[in-house]
Structure 1
């Protein structure tokens, strides 16, 4: 029996998982951790104390161990700010500076984890980690891991198209992008349809990410300095959705493997919470496929003007809607009241009966899976788009803002599953009520059948079967990839 237990522990992987301090990153990393744990592996999940306390506890087991590192204070960073949700966009650079201060406590943690004499830890947790799974921002971590001879894998929560668009440092040296206009088209190493381009205001945001910020390092340099020392790249996507891009990325970044993890969608465990949700209770009373669900994520830079124009557009469209309304970017601690105060005067009264505004938490997975929902108005964050595919297969009304959101919107338009809200004034990307109403009518009425059919076909393609078996298969393959590439050699360090 002792031999069987030892053999089981030798087959079990111990992985350290360490995401960037944003809930759009923390949650996918946690979902990956839960799936690895469900397959019998041990996961040490590293973050800060406040972030760990705010993570959803559902689905966690004794095979996921939480380790909190102390986030150092940085001048100008609000006290208690430990994630991007705690700061306005202009303060995120300071959060990155604080994040870099985690290098020393992480080095201490890893040295202890690799010492092999941790009597307080039992089983696999007392054994040296087999892998560290890290994020784009950890340029200082790989040298620490190299000292302990632990291989690193970079897990990117973005689309494969976005990773291909950024490209390697070498490709960017050979084909430099300098002006904002240089960042609008896809690069020379990324063959793509002409429609996959960025607007001026989107390209300006991307160009800024190539420049050094208050942390002393640009976002793209963080990415390059990290990926160059990682043995594997893991992408939260799949070849069914992004054909040809996985081998392209492996070639561009010169990696032995670029591994799809699948979408890592959360389980729908919101049954009890849903009974307290006014959104779900209202949906129960609506006809099938008649309601537009509106949600722009937790951290999209939505302004008060954006909220007013969106509200006016929803009213003008005449369609039913449920709106998960969050405070505009920079609203600080105003909370739900700050969000509701942005609505046009009398809006809720004029739309009563066909629309509900929920200025607070909404169970998005449960809403997307509700029979009354017929389409999704989204900022095109990758997490929201994959949830829409996984839990409803809905056509999309698309209102992108930053990062890869514009690229995702154009990818979904190419697939025939969504319509983008028209933007005016290329420099600022302004949109008006008429633009919102026109896109909503196209998706909910004029092109509804074709868009819905394409969305369902895409859902079935990426799921593989009714139970989403193909998505789970990718996690199985990831485990095997960890095993195949786990041997450290001098050349790999």
Structure 2
């Protein structure tokens, strides 16, 4: 991560404050590292247990990255130590939002202490849910920006408050078509399925925190100086002009920070005695013969989902490595054994060519391994980017939030295929899984996905271009720390 450091007069003190989910905290930490590498000082705020679970900051950057734990709030319904979405089942995520709101007073105390000590930050950069943070920061004379770790197209689909007022969406079906403001430029297929639209519709309703996600997002976008995105033009829908569209929608700059992924393999992974067993297993497989399966730890999977996925992998007849995580609070369905997350005898029948691994998996090292030829993913943004950086075609099984839009975008870019599902309830069967896997891994036509994924690898691997995104973001942070939000005309900000 060789970058030219800012001069002494341009060095910034930036506070980063992510949502309490590791899918957010990790990109925020990567942004912290990138800013520190350019000579700036960064304070990363979270809660005590989350701070201890973060990966270590490289020693050469650690003097400039300060990890600060704010005291967590006590929330009825959350057990002690439940400080992130990883600690609760999906239906309790809204209680984590209450816990975030309980950090407002500690955040104010942190800024007051910083000001009293003569260390007032230049910026506070916050996530979608910290709708109260800009007002608190403003009381201490500190400007705010927001950093969105989702694709820019997701926020464009969300739209501004005024756009939604002009074109109301009053039912789940309204989220299955392109909104009016996206229709002129977005490819027509970049929409949600009926079963995914239920989640979208729910974001407009107040949850246990008393505030809807949609209102949080709008208030955040309206009260910050500009928005930063973990994205770039190369991974957004082709031809959508999404950053100009967002600048127009919210009347402030939409700034791509690049993909913020520096592939770092475990330093010991070539040391055979310490080499993880999953890598040793991959070492014995032919080149490009294995599909890596990972759906994260927070996907709302049912026992039926897991059974059909397993039986589909078996039916496809290809080698597979499955990073298996039984989701927290996994629901069951009729016709399955609630005590057995995998079909009876599945591991025995596939032992010769498949591995179900329930322990830790070094995902980056796995994706980089020569034996891996494709990636079956839930299309979380971080996982999707990792797959593309290593040139892997995708088999896509999205569930919630931005995952459906990501899957459709990657299908439009022809780097993978989705598992076919019932549009109404989102169910899928073993035949659907097998067909998608074989289409990418076995059939002759699958070569086009591999070719396009390899092209994407070359584009995203252009580190000079990625550094340029950070340089442009740095310019905004330096120029606008003491001025008002830059104005936007026709999607172009004044500089």
Indicate whether the TM-score tops 0.5: yes
2:231 pairs with 219, 237, 245, which one? 237
SS of the equivalent of 1:26 reads helix
1:164 matches 2:156: yes
1:473 matches 2:468: yes
Q: Is contact 2:300-2:327 (8 Å) kept?
A: yes
For 1:138-183, what per-residue CA distance to the aligned partner results, in whole angstroms no more than 9, with x for missing partners? 0111101111111111000011110100010110111110011011
Instruction: Identify which range, 86-95 or 53-62, moves more after superposition.
Output: 53-62
| Distance of 2:225 and 2:36 partners within structure 1 | 22
1:415 pairs with 388, 413, 416, which one? 413
Count of residues in correspondence between the two structures: 466
Structure 1 residue aligned with 2:248: 251
SS of the equivalent of 2:268 reads helix
1:482 pairs with 459, 477, 491, which one? 477
Structure 2 residue aligned with 1:143: 135
TM-score (norm 2): 0.91
Name stretches of at least 5 consecutive residues in structure 1 with no aligned partner: 1-6, 119-125, 333-337
| Distance of 2:243 and 2:39 partners within structure 1 | 28
Is the alpha carbon distance of 1:490 and 1:12 closer, same or farther for their aligned partners in structure 2, counting shifts above 3 Å?
A: closer
Q: Is contact 2:152-2:243 (8 Å) kept?
A: yes
Structure 1 residue aligned with 2:66: 65
Structure 2 residue aligned with 1:122: none
Shift of the alpha carbon at 1:491?
10
Structure 1 residue aligned with 2:211: 217
SS of the equivalent of 1:271 reads coil
Structure 1 residue aligned with 2:80: 79
Q: How does 1:301-450 map to 2 (within 5 A)?
A: 301-331=300-330, 341-390=340-389, 392-424=390-422, 426-446=423-443, 447-450=445-448
Q: Is contact 1:325-1:339 (8 Å) kept?
A: no
Shift of the alpha carbon at 1:321?
0.5
Structure 1 residue aligned with 2:490: none
Shift of the alpha carbon at 1:398?
0.4
| Distance of 1:400 and 1:130 partners within structure 2 | 38
Shift of the alpha carbon at 1:267?
3.5
Shift of the alpha carbon at 1:272?
2.3
TM-score (norm 1): 0.91
Q: Is contact 1:273-1:363 (8 Å) kept?
A: no
Computed over aligned residues only, the root mean square deviation of the Cα atoms, in angstroms, reads 1.9
Structure 2 residue aligned with 1:292: 291
| Distance of 1:490 and 1:173 partners within structure 2 | 24
For 1:209-262, what per-residue CA distance to the aligned partner results, in whole angstroms no more than 9, with x for missing partners? 11100100011111111110100100100022325110010001100x211111
Q: Is contact 2:70-2:106 (8 Å) kept?
A: yes
| Distance of 1:489 and 1:259 partners within structure 2 | 16
2:221 pairs with 217, 227, 252, which one? 227
Q: Hey, which bits of structure 1, 4+ residues long, moved more than 4 A? A: 489-492
SS of the equivalent of 2:219 reads helix
Structure 2 residue aligned with 1:121: none
1:265 matches 2:261: yes
| Distance of 2:260 and 2:298 partners within structure 1 | 20
Shift of the alpha carbon at 1:109?
0.6
Shift of the alpha carbon at 1:273?
5.8
Name stretches of at least 5 consecutive residues in structure 2 with no aligned partner: 1-5, 332-336, 488-495
